[in-house]
Homo-oligomer: A and B are copies of this chain.
Amino acid sequence: MAAGWQQLAVAPLFFLLLLLLLSGSCHATKPNMLNVHLVPHTHDDVGWLKTVDQYFYGDRNDIQHAGVQYILDSVVDQLLKNPDRRFIYVETAFFYRWWKRQSSGEQQTVKQLVNEGRLEFVNGGWCMSDEATTHYSAVVDQMTMGLRFLNETFGPCGRPRVAWHIDPFGHAREHASMFAQMGYDGFFFGRLDYQDRTRRMLAQEQELLWRANIDPLTFALDKNKKNPPGILPNGYNPPEGFCWDQSCDDPPIRDDPDLEDYNVDDVVMRFLAIATAYKTNHIIMTMGSDFQYENANLWYKNLDKLIRYVNARQGNGSRVNVVYSTPSCYLQELHRANLTWALKTDDFFPYADSAHDFWTGYFTSRPALKRYERVSNSHLQTCNQLEVLGGPVSRNGPFGEGNSQTMKKAMAVAQHHDAVSGTEKQHVANDYARRLADGWRHCQVLVSNSLAALTGSSAKRIYCDNLNISVCPLTESSKKFSVSVYNPLARPVTWPVRLPVNGTAYTVSDAKGQPVDCQVSNRGFAINELVFQVQAPPLGFSTYSVSLLQDGPPPAAATKHQVMCTGQSISLTQNFYWYNASDGNNSESDQPSGAYIFRPNSSTPFVISQRNSVVQEVRQWFAPWVSQVVRLYSDSRALELEWTVGPLPIDDSLGKEVITRLDTSIKTCEMFYTDSNGREVLQRKKDFRPTWNLKQSEPIAGNYYPINSRAFIKDDKDQLTVVTDRSQGGGSIHNGSLEIMLHRRLLYDDVRGVAEPLNETSAIFPEGLVVRGRLLLSLERPPAAADAHRPLAQEAVLQPLLTFVDGGLSPDTRLEVSGRGFSGLQAALPPAVHLLTLTQWDGDSVLLRLEHQFQSRESRVNSQPVTVNLQKLFSTLEVIGVSEMNLSANQWKDEMIRFAWTPQTGMHARTHKHTHTHTPVYLTGLLRLNCLVCTDQ
């Protein structure tokens, strides 16, 4: 094990370009020929038209024919038949399920195939995550889970060398950054704007270096741009006429001269015609597609013949050489070519596959699922932390057996590019939500056990999971209860707690019995709401007692939460609008708006209410289906807009895409800013793309970008930052304006496969889904804006967990009697440092990730290197060993070796070669710990 480290500098810059490590399992290529790399692969969605389990088993084949268990059975059988054959596998969520059903003999066979490079894992995360709507913390988690399984099962030969995102609908720079820090040598992807694709093909920039954050260079391949312009792309499919899966209809190679229709000559000629050279004398062909290789014999039997017959032409002077290959073998040949490559520093959003087909709808599709996924991530981090802090009793304690594993898996599948993206069928969306709920049930037991150990009180804890709709049976009925607030952040938080109650007057006190200000207000529905501020220490909790004073008439409208939009020099106007979703019937294109695609019928949205409300009122009703509560908490610098939208009316037969628009006097010059997967912020410009001359064909949809956690507009003086509580789409269509799409209800399918209109109803919402969410508005001026929105966004992502105990507060709250509550940390971390991960790794060790959460140059104070003393990190745990790892924790940091690449000269970015070495933005370590307080367990 590598030597431990204990003091680390964490800086916002990182850079990784190391030496080449050759794979010995690649087939030899021929230097004087065009080498065609055939890459047999299957693309197995971790849920889409069917649930992940239905896909695994091959259930509900009436919806879509797909059964992953059979794919893996079949591929292994076929690889064994010919040692030349290769296969890559991507989604560990499926592989893991299959693996555990194999006998040890079968497992040994597969290990042999992996060791020999015949079966190669690429990407290797639990799923192939969405890039627009996922938060980076959940992506890191799901990648870690998948890669860990591969690492523990197959060792170094099972470590993927390339990232493989052939299907997500546009590509985020943050993903490229994460992949680089996970040690990948290259990043293959498929979907980019059709105009960009055309330009790159002409410029031979189908391969490029992607500078994935402020400094690092990451090698990226857009493997799709091998098609001449105007020809429809293959996607990640095989060339036209060469699809031999059972799901394809292309003619097989008929090489029995005794039978009719001998076609070997024809096949060879067609193949030679498409095998034309690009930048190197190597090209890659993806031989596979969605859920293919269920009967791998069809593919391999014909590929064997293709290779044999095409290469036989070399005897007649052909200069084409075909080999079975993998992405890493192909990448190795590109590296050997020792060329320079085009440089890319922005990202690949938004994605359009033709002029009126912008995939910007899914930034907002299924807003309720998107929020539930975000909340679940927060719950999971809390669960992970409390598993560490509470020790083994967390998993098996007074409340039974609990675990974090179920929730980890549920969150991992929810990152899939048809999960949190909202582009799955309704029944599949329900399945993801159900899995998250099930995972949370297992975590609740763990959390109860852990809190019992930490507090010494085994009083039953109650979780009010429906506070978002103001439902909590305990608080609505109990005359006396306590509420504990656990804070998963590494710094103290103050948080407004709002509880549904039936009484009209309560007293609230903290653990020391000190009274806390509180207020009961009429929620507008049947019940009242009790509101008070709580505080909780880093990685710790505090407890408050609540007692009913009296029953009585509902209180008058709240007066304490005064709206404050003064002290700012900008004029801010907000309203709600809806775009009429295109039904596909117009002269320009027949593309309707749908789960993936956003395409308004007109660029002018319908205003929902003429009342432009300069933010002054506490409660606002814009329409029967749009309302808002505006709050400014006393010690917060952010304004909270709690919007409630739905059920969207469709009796006018118009699909609706509801936005809220904030119009300001900020001089934006068509610029605005959105984040990438919740981390770095990218500059956007209206009707502009940094790397090509955009011909804008959709003035609204073509200017929408994913807003994962925040967006802002600014000028020299002022800035309006909006922090969201889930992934949404948005843009700045007018100067000074920022609009965010909140909810969508559509009447047509957008013909991208899902075959259902995005029209969410349920038993609870038969008239259409009602969604509630929050926008946090900060008016902090540009120089300090990041200092405000970084912690604000983290608070929105990792929100405190409330647990309730009925009755009086336990007298023995051992760790809270000090008055500061319990904190797992000796002290709060510096503001620049975010504790990204603290989770049990195995019996002996925990995984810790610290992160420098400020981008380079965005804060005078915080965009600086920081030092953290790990020895003094935890309050109840002693660090007795540390081993640094790559971001995905599947490789020791000092063994991380990556290809070095050279960008083209003359590029605007500084070129980085083998000279730079930076400390990483993430610090990932396996820690061995000793529990200082749990000797009694």
Contact = CB atoms under 8 A, between A and B. Distances in A.
A325 to B, nearest CB: 24
Nearest to A254: B57
Given A61-B249, A246-B246, A259 B56 contact: yes
A301 to B, nearest CB: 7
A402 interface: no
B70 A431 contact: no
Contact of A73 (B62, B294, B297): B297
A74 interface: yes
Most buried by B among A60, A74, A101, A297: A297
A252 interface: yes
A97 interface: yes
A642 interface: no
A58 interface: yes
A51 interface: yes
Contacts of A97: 256, 258-259
A70 B297 contact: yes
B294 A53 contact: no
A894 interface: no
A298 B67 contact: yes
A260 B53 contact: yes
Most buried by B among A51, A248, A254: A254
A567 to B, nearest CB: 54
Contact of A246 (B65, B254, B301): B65
A346 interface: no
A252 B298 CA distance: 22
Given A51-B260, A97-B259, A256-B101, A251 B297 contact: no
Nearest to A51: B260
Given A53-B260, A59-B261, A70 B294 contact: no
A204 interface: no
B252 A59 contact: yes
Contacts of A295: 70, 74, 246, 294-295
State the oligomeric state as a number of copies. 2
A431 B261 CA distance: 11
A77 interface: yes
A254 B74 contact: no
B252 A57 contact: yes
Interface string A280-306: 000000000000001101100100000
Interface in A244-280: 246, 248-249, 251-252, 254, 256, 258-261
Contact of A57 (B56, B73, B77, B259): B259
A838 to B, nearest CB: 26
Given A259-B53, A295-B246, A73 B301 contact: yes
A56 B256 CA distance: 11
A254 B297 contact: no
Contacts of A58: 252, 298
A77 B101 CA distance: 19
Contacts of A70: 246, 295, 297-298, 301
Interface in A67-124: 67, 69-70, 73-74, 77, 97, 101
Nearest to A295: B295
Contacts of A431: 260
A70 B77 CA distance: 14
Contact of A74 (B248, B258, B297): B297
Contacts of A260: 51, 53, 431
Most buried by B among A53, A60, A97: A53
A615 B930 CA distance: 114
A68 to B, nearest CB: 11
Nearest to A248: B61
A248 B67 CA distance: 12
Contacts of A54: 261
Contacts of A259: 53, 56-57, 97
Contacts of A252: 57-59, 67
A158 B396 CA distance: 62
A60 B249 contact: yes
Nearest to A250: B61
A300 to B, nearest CB: 10
A600 to B, nearest CB: 38
A781 B766 CA distance: 83
Interface string A33-67: 00000000000000000010110111111100101
Contacts of A77: 77, 297
Contacts of A65: 246
A62 B61 CA distance: 19
A206 to B, nearest CB: 31
A60 B251 CA distance: 6
Nearest to A58: B252
A145 to B, nearest CB: 15
Contacts of A51: 260
Contacts of A254: 53, 57, 59
A246 B254 CA distance: 23
Contacts of A249: 60-62
A248 B56 CA distance: 16
Contacts of A57: 251-252, 254, 259, 261
A294 B248 CA distance: 14
Contacts of A74: 295, 297
Given A51-B260, A259-B53, A260-B431, A59 B251 contact: yes
Most buried by B among A59, A62, A301, A431: A59
Contacts of A67: 252, 298
A259 B47 CA distance: 14
Nearest to A260: B53
Contacts of A59: 251-252, 254, 261
A112 B832 CA distance: 71
B261 A53 contact: yes
A466 to B, nearest CB: 24
A51 to B, nearest CB: 7
Nearest to A251: B59
Contacts of A294: 246, 295, 298
30 contacts: A53-B259, A54-B261, A56-B259, A57-B251, A57-B252, A57-B254, A57-B259, A57-B261, A58-B298, A59-B251, A59-B254, A60-B249, A60-B251, A61-B249, A62-B249, A65-B246, A69-B301, A70-B297, A70-B301, A73-B297, A74-B297, A97-B256, A97-B258, A97-B259, A101-B256, A246-B294, A260-B431, A294-B295, A294-B298, A295-B295
Given A57-B252, A61-B246, A73-B297, 18 more contacts: A53-B254, A53-B260, A54-B261, A56-B259, A57-B251, A57-B259, A58-B252, A59-B252, A60-B251, A67-B252, A70-B246, A73-B301, A77-B297, A97-B256, A97-B258, A260-B431, A294-B298, A295-B295
Interface of A: 51, 53-54, 56-62, 65, 67, 69-70, 73-74, 77, 97, 101, 246, 248-249, 251-252, 254, 256, 258-261, 294-295, 297-298, 301, 431
